[in-house]
Every structure is written in structure tokens, then in C-alpha cells.
Amino acid sequence: HIQDPASQRLTWNKPPKSVLVIKKIRDASLLQPFKELCVYLTEENNMIVYVEKKVLEDPAIANDENFGPVKKKFCTFREDYDDISNQIDFIICLGGDGTLLYASSLFQGSVPPVMAFHLGSLGFLTPFNFENFQSQVTQVIEGNAALVLRSRLKVKVVKEHREKMTVQNGIEENGVVSANLEKEVGKQIMQYQVLNEVVVDRGPSSYLSNVDVFLNGQLITTVQGDGVIVSTPTGSTAYAAAAGASMIHPNVPAIMITPICPHSLSFRPIVVPAGVELKIMLSPDARNTAWVSFDGRKRQEICHGDSISITTSCYPLPSICFRDPVSDWFESLAECLHWNVRKKQNNFAGEEEE
């Protein structure tokens, strides 16, 4: 029996009490929706609202006296400093697809259900409109919603210890070393949970990138080109789609391997089972280093002897649907990517039938 994707439903063991609100930073158009949502959550539903500290540092929020009483009820946190993973019942995102990727990065283990409102430039992963947010949030709180479990990639980067290490991009955006960084004898290990894709590219070098790709320990190919994208089905409509990959529904258990401008006429994108382990390393013949990024963040250099191991994570991101997983996906294909838009062919009107 094959499970119907539309059968996945949100169910609460107990009524949700705490919600994390993620707002796109430096976007004035989101201030009013953010305030309306927070007032509704705190005063109408008596919920504990978590927001990132830098959101409240926005002068338009900090200097709003009318919003002061609501703001005092917030719980705040700082990325890479405070662990809120066990304190959140569900997440509400206000912005574009980037807010959902950011929400994913905050939870390196289990992720609470995410409700994403389309208030950004691209809304492929954000199916909700904000106009009637009260009724939609109420339905989620009552557990009346469909879910799609978006698989993530578990990525382990192992770097050979070097006396002189490049620190410019090996340090987090806020200037501190990652909390999920371990050290072994002669090795440095970092782990990431990735929702869209891992991108390995040639960085600033003018040479081809030259990286080996292993599947379950066996060398399957060497990528000679601008790089390679390893993506989830969710990421198949992002960078991978621009590089010529197929678009895969998020309910399909798979990992996609897509070359970026390969210097080969026969290197087509491939799809492999979700259960495999991929490993990417610089080829021994590589003339230069490579660079890697994870959902567009944490960019760092990969040198000879370093490795990137990629498997499907056991912690997917539960994304709350507007209608159901299939309808929402095709709606996004049509609205955001204008999939298969073409003028209709005319029939042979006026000709006599034979």
C-alpha cells in the first residue's frame, strides 16, 4: 500500500503554547503584519511568543510605544548562542522562502511544524496569504491542517587539521565559531542540517573544479566543471532547477546530484535513493581548492584531504500546507515558476470534417 501524501495531518498531543515568529530582517513592509500577528497570538490566544533579539532592535519596533506592552511579553533568543529547540511548539514565518531556510538552520535536530506566510519576493515554500491570517492560525492551533514532511540532508564536513587555517569564511556570520564544531586528533568536524542543497563549486578560481563523488564508498564519477549540487526534493525547485535538474515533489524519498556547467556533453543530472551516503572530495589531480555552502550559508574552503559526507537526515522539516501537499506544489509551480506556460494551440475551426 502506497501512502497518499494528502493523508499526512497535523495532530497535537496537547494544545500548543509556544510559537516562534521569524520575520525577514530589514523589510519595512513586514512590520505591520508582524505586529498584528504578535498581538493576535499573545492577546487572543494567550501564547508564549519567541522572537530573535535582533528583530526587536529594529527602530520601528523599538520606538513604537503602542507595541511596548506586547513586546514585554516576548521571549528572545540569539542565533548560535541560545538553544530553543525544546521550547517551541510551532513556527510562523513572515517573508519569502529564505525565512523557511533560516528556520531550518535554527533546528539541528527535530523541527517543530512550520507555517509560512508569503510576504517575500519568491513564495514557493510559503503557501499562506496574510489577509485572513487569524482563521488560518486558529486552524493550525486546533490541529486542522495537512503536512508535508520535507526531507533534509545531514552533512558532515571533515577537515584535515592544518597549522595555518583560513578563518575568514570558516567563522559564522556573527563572528563566533559554530556550536556544532568538534575536534578530533588532527581533524576538525562540522555538521549541518540542510533543507535545500549542498553546493560545491570552484569559488574564486578560474580553473575547473575537479571533485570526486562517492556513493556508499564507491567512486561513481569525477565532476569537472563549475561544481556540483546535491539537493533534496525541496531543493529541486531552487538552484538545481536553474542548473537543469528535474523538479521532484517533496514527498519523493530521493537525493539529486546535479552538475553545474560540466565540461561534458553527457553529464546529465541523476536521482539516487534517499538511503545512500554520498561523499565528495577534491580529486587528487585537482589544480585548486573547492568551496562549499549549505542552503547558501556557512561558506567555506575545501582542500585536499577534506571530505563532505551527505545522507538523508532523520529530522525532516514538517511544513504546514494551505490545502494539501500535491495541490500546494502544483500551485507553486504555476504561480512562482510559471511551469509550462504556453499559448494554447488553435483547433482547425472552419474546416469540414472528412
Instruction: Per-residue pLDDT tens, the chain, 354 aa: give them.
Output: 666 666 789 999 999 999 999 998 888 899 999 999 999 999 999 999 999 999 988 888 888 888 888 888 999 998 888 889 899 999 999 999 999 999 999 999 999 999 999 987 778 999 999 999 999 999 999 999 999 999 999 999 999 876 554 444 444 444 444 545 555 557 899 999 999 999 999 999 999 999 999 999 999 999 999 999 999 999 999 999 999 999 999 999 999 999 999 999 999 999 999 999 999 999 999 999 999 999 999 999 999 999 999 999 999 999 999 999 999 999 999 999 999 999 999 999 765 555
Please count the CA atoms within 13 angstroms of the CA of 304 that sit on its side-chain side: 6
Q: From the CA atom positions of the chain, what is the Rg in Å?
A: 23
Instruction: Report phi then psi at 11, rounded to 5.
Output: -130, 135
- Say which of 64, 80, 97, 201 is annotated catalytic: 97
Q: Output the pTM of the full model.
A: 0.89
Question: Would you give the distance in Å from CA 241 to the centre of its chain?
Answer: 15
Cβ atoms within 10 Å of 142's Cβ, excluding its own:
12
Contacts of 311 (CB under 8 A, 6+ apart): 153, 154, 275, 276, 277, 278
Cell (9 digits) for 195: 533543507
Domains and CATH numbers, the chain: 5-150+316-337 (3.40.50.10330), 153-312 (2.60.200.30)
Q: Are strands 181-184 and 187-194 parallel, antiparallel or unpaired?
A: antiparallel
Question: Would you give the distance in Å from CA 185 to the centre of its chain?
Answer: 32
Catalytic residue list contains 97: yes
pLDDT of residue 57: 87
* Spatial contact of 292 and 306, defined as CB atoms under 8 Å apart: no
Q: Residue 61: left (phi > 0), alpha (psi -120 to 50), or beta?
A: alpha
pLDDT of residue 350: 64
